[in-house]
Structure 1
Amino acid sequence: MYLSNIKEAQSIVLNGPGILNARKQSLVGPEQGWDGWVMRQFTLGKDGQTPKHSHPWPHINYIISGKGTLFLDGKEQSVESGSVAYIPGGEEHQFRNVGDEEFAFICIVPEEGDK
């Protein structure tokens, strides 16, 4: 069993090509007993974004707060608090914050996707 609070999770500022104003917190994974999977929270500040990218593993997303866009299937689609998305492996995708407040989402990936 594992119980914690997001306030206790280390927040890592992400840097790299195409990344703007983004942080990641690893919440539950193999270290907490969930073998093979990892649940993370990404937070994008004002004008923040992830890079347009693809990878072989799928992931599941749940938007916690804010307003943003998800680039998927070659087009940008609006997402907001309560939106959910499944992104198959190999699909190019990108999240962007289009609001004035932080845009935060949960991202669940196989363990290989969090290396």
Structure 2
Amino acid sequence: MADHQNRGSAVHREARKDYRWEGVDRLAYKEEGSAPFKDITRQVLITDAHLACEMRYFEMGPGGYSTLERHEHVHGVMIFRGRGHCLVGDEVRAVSERDLVTIPPWTWHQFRATGDEPFGFLCMVNSERDRPQLPSPEELEALRQNPRIAAFLDGRIRELD
């Protein structure tokens, strides 16, 4: 006999205008001063212990960017709105709506809105996850040895496309 008390209840969150969802708060990306980032918000769309993951929506204004970081857990990302670039490991790639990006464990990564419109992406991660690590000055200098990564980090990536 199935144990119905261990099942979660179905939830429907209606999509709203401006890439918002019913009953979902638009939150600060991170605490100000905790790490470098610009013009980015997050919404936690789905959290369920039975799934052991969270689905989140991040959105940046034009010129916005996420934190350059790495951690033990994997990310599954789907670009949902706009255009941008992402750094994953030692590669910088242009990304746009419906592109998929997998970020392996312990891999440096960052997203940047490089178009003239908002840039948003869905991100699936483990519910229980480690804290992000920021690069040391030496690690940052090593990344900057690659001219494409240096241009990306400096917000000059359009010059190389």
Q: What SS does the aligned partner of 1:112 have?
A: coil
Whole-Å separation in 2 of the counterparts to 1:34 and 1:2:
14
In the superposition, the TM-score normalised over structure 2's length comes to: 0.65
How do residues 1-115 of structure 1 correspond to structure 2 at under 5 angstroms?
1-5=10-14, 6-8=20-22, 9-14=24-29, 15=32, 16-30=34-48, 34-113=50-129
CA deviation map 1:12-69 (0-9, x unaligned): 1223322100000000012xx6441000000011111001100100010000111101
For the 8 Å contact 2:76–2:101, the answer to whether it is kept is: yes
Which of structures 1 and 2 has the bigger CA Rg? 2
Q: Which residue of 1 aligns with 2:152?
A: none
Whole-Å separation in 2 of the counterparts to 1:113 and 1:42:
18
Q: What SS does the aligned partner of 2:69 have?
A: coil
- RMSD between aligned residues: 1.7
Relative to its length, the structure with more helix (as a share) is 2
Relative to its length, the structure with more strand (as a share) is 1
Whole-Å separation in 2 of the counterparts to 1:46 and 1:37:
29
For the 8 Å contact 1:21–1:49, the answer to whether it is kept is: yes
What runs of 5+ residues in structure 1 fail to find an aligned partner? none
Count of aligned pairs? 113
Amino acid at match of 2:93: Q
What runs of 5+ residues in structure 2 fail to find an aligned partner? 1-9, 15-19, 132-161
